Structure 1
Amino acid sequence: MIRIYGIDFTSAPRRGKAITLAKAELNEKELMITDCEDLTSTTEFGEFLMTPGPWIAAIDFPFGQPRKLVLDYRWPCSWEGYVDYVSKIGKEAFEGCLRNYRDKTSGKRRLRRQTDVRAGSLSPMQLDFTPVGKMFFTGAPLLQRSPCTVIPFRICSSGAGIIVEGYPKLVAVKAIGRQGYKSDLPIPKNAHHRELRNSILKWIQSPAAQNVYGYRVGITESIVSDCLDDPKGDKLDALLCVMQAAWSLSKRRAKFGVPDDCDLLEGWIVDPALIITTMSGK
């Protein structure tokens, strides 16, 4: 039996907006999601990364930045190198680099990684609204300093855990298409979004999900209730990351689901949809 985790990340964890950690156990072909825990500080998150293995976690934030950004700013030309550099220059300087950047060829201010283009995810340079650039600044150095294997950048033999990059929307879209399942409105005003979350929860426990991700999924009743009654969707996103972590583990002999053409400066989101996209040449 191996522990499987899914993590919905935030750059400024606190009691009202925590890092959400979903916990599951994998026994052969059955994945049982048993608990959700709130990590209310980056210190608690760092302590989690020190947990002895074996385990695997999918975390919902961009682990890397676009290759062109790294090269244009002449940051160290390795993931560990530029993550360490960014951490040392500090948050204000890093955010200034992102806000002041403009690609001389295209004129674009925000670039996307190869995996972002295929997944339809945001640029990791974005600092506003969904501030994934801030998540990178907070989270990537913690991964870089941890004893964990960080796919695809670093393989460690320390006996610690394995970390992969997740993107829960890729799971949700298989259940409900591109409908939004999150709301800033309190229950019961977000009844429509609650029903969409319910549809996702039913789908991930269905044979259709098993055909895609390879596992039968069970969820305790208390976790289902918590996900339905969480309008911001943090708990559900953590569960969807569990699905991606378990699938990635099943592909450990094939680079954890990371394709051969992955850019090792940028990183990769693990999900079967991206493997299919890659193999089809799209």
Structure 2
Amino acid sequence: MVTLLGCDFSSSPSARKQIVLAYGQLDKSRVQLLKIERFSSLAAWSAALQAQTHWVGGFDLPFGLPRELVEALGWPRTWRECMQWYARLSREQIRTEFKAFCDARPAGSKFAHRATDGLAGSSSSMKWVNPPVAYMMHAGVPALLALGASFPGLHSGTTLKPARVALEAYPGMLAREVLGRTSYKSDDKSKHTTERLIARKDLINALELGLTRLNLRLRLSHAQRDALVADASGDALDAVLCLVQAAWAQTQYANGHPNYGLPSTMDTLEGWIVSA
């Protein structure tokens, strides 16, 4: 049985802000959470992924840049070559290039967006602050490529039948389906409110009952449920949301969809958020 992963990512992990990895398995329409691990370094996270020989993972970081941006900067227009180009840049170079692009554009449309961003409600993948998803991609995608992962619709990996499948996930999309715009998390301890705790409970309850369009039910132990509720940062819950999206993708693959439910019309430079 293939291992499913959900990852809440950080571009600069530390003891204070760790990368969180949720492990699970799919049994028909039930997603069993097996365990949650936390990592304070990119090296430790990569080693954990390397230790698993077969997995399908949903990762909360962008896998591609807006085509409009890539073409404006004159960067390579095929995905792997573009990511290789991007990986060679420093974060300061990325910020300088992206800021110059934004500064030349009118107020209200500073950032370019991918086609998937509108459907998923996600930030532009070129944002370097609030949240710094451009840096997350800069740290995460090269690491996944180094593991020989396949990126459906973008890159076939290092084998004809890939053992590791990486999918772009976005927990906020699934959370909003249940909660609307109600906040369920914060890294600011002063914002760890009763209202957010109740929202986490409501979200977890909906996942357990299968009350989303993904038609999957999350299975948790009492201890796991309590731990997800207690994590006011929402990092563990976000990893679980990504796990559920990865499970949905696995059901699509099992039903004969070679690209794990990603649309056949997706832009093969920009990428796509799974289940958007």
Q: 4+ residue stretches of structure 1 with deviation over 4 A?
A: 103-107
1:49 and 1:100 map into 2 onto residues whose CA distance is: 36
C-alpha distance in 1 between matches for 2:8 and 2:42: 13
Instruction: Name the residue aligned to 1:226.
Output: 227
1:85 is matched with which residue?
85
Contact (CA 8 Å) 2:210, 2:218: kept in 1 or not?
no
| 1:51–1:171 CA distance, 2 compared to 1 (3 A) | same
- The two structures have a TM-score, normalised by structure 1, of 0.89
Preserved CA contact (<8 Å) 1:57 1:162? yes
Query: Which residues of 2 match residues 230-241 of structure 1 at below 5 A?
Result: 230-241=231-242
The counterpart of 1:197, out of the listed 200, 211, 215, is: 200
Output the CA distance in 2 between the equivalents of 1:173 and 1:205.
16
Question: How far did residue 213 of structure 1 move?
Answer: 2.0
Change (3 A) 1:143 1:191: same
The answer as to whether partners of 2:168 and 2:274 remain within 8 angstroms in 1 is: yes
- The alignment partner of 1:44 has SS state of helix
How far 1:185 sits from its partner (Å)? 4.7
SS in 1 for 2:273: coil
Q: What are the within-5 Å matches in structure 2 for residues 124-163 of structure 1? A: 124-156=125-157, 157=159, 159-163=162-166
| Aligned partner letter, 1:21 | L
After alignment, is 99-108 or 122-131 more displaced? 99-108
Q: Quick one: which amino acid aligns to residue 38 of structure 2?
A: D
Aligned to 1:149, the other structure's residue is in SS state: coil
1:57 Cα deviation (Å)?
A: 0.6
The corresponding residue for 1:262 is 266
**Percent identity between the aligned chains?**
28
Mapped to 1, the partners of 2:260 and 2:267 lie a distance apart of 15
Contact kept in structure 1, 2:192 and 2:232, CA below 8 Å = no
Q: Distance in 2 between matches of 1:98 and 1:160?
A: 35
- Provide the rounded CA distance (Å) in 1 between the counterparts of 2:150 and 2:171: 21
Q: Letter of the 1:195 partner, please give it.
A: I
- Separation of aligned partners in 2, 1:78 and 1:46: 25
CA pair 102-58 structure 1, distance change in 2 beyond 3 A? same
Contact 1:49 1:148 in 2 (8 A): no
Partner of 2:42: 42
Paired with 1:56 and 1:97, the residues of 2 have a C-alpha distance of 33
1:189: how far off? 5.0
5+ residue gaps, structure 1, are: 275-282
Q: Following TM superposition, by how much is the alpha carbon of 1:197 offset from its aligned partner in structure 2, in angstroms?
A: 0.2
Q: CA deviation at 1:172?
A: 0.9
Query: C-alpha displacement at 1:177, in angstroms?
Result: 1.5
Residue pair 1:6, 1:22 contacting (<8 A) in 2 also: yes
Which residue identity does 1:176 align to in structure 2? L
* Aligned equivalent of 1:27: 27
| RMSD between aligned residues | 2.0
1:187 deviates by 8.4
Q: Which residue of the partner structure matches residue 165 of structure 1?
A: 168
Aligned residue in 2 for 1:215: 216
Contact 2:185–2:192 (Cα < 8 Å) also in 1: no
- Unaligned 5+ segments in structure 2 are none
Q: Give TM-score scaled by structure 2 length.
A: 0.91
Change (3 A) 1:171 1:148: same
Q: 1: distance between equivalents of 2:120 and 2:7?
A: 18
**1: distance between equivalents of 2:57 and 2:96?**
31
Mean Cα deviation higher: 156-165 or 55-64: 156-165
In the comparison of the two structures, how many residue pairs are matched? 270
What do residues 204-256 of structure 1 show as CA deviations (whole Å, max 9, x unaligned)?
A: 010424xx223332012222122111111101000100110000111123221
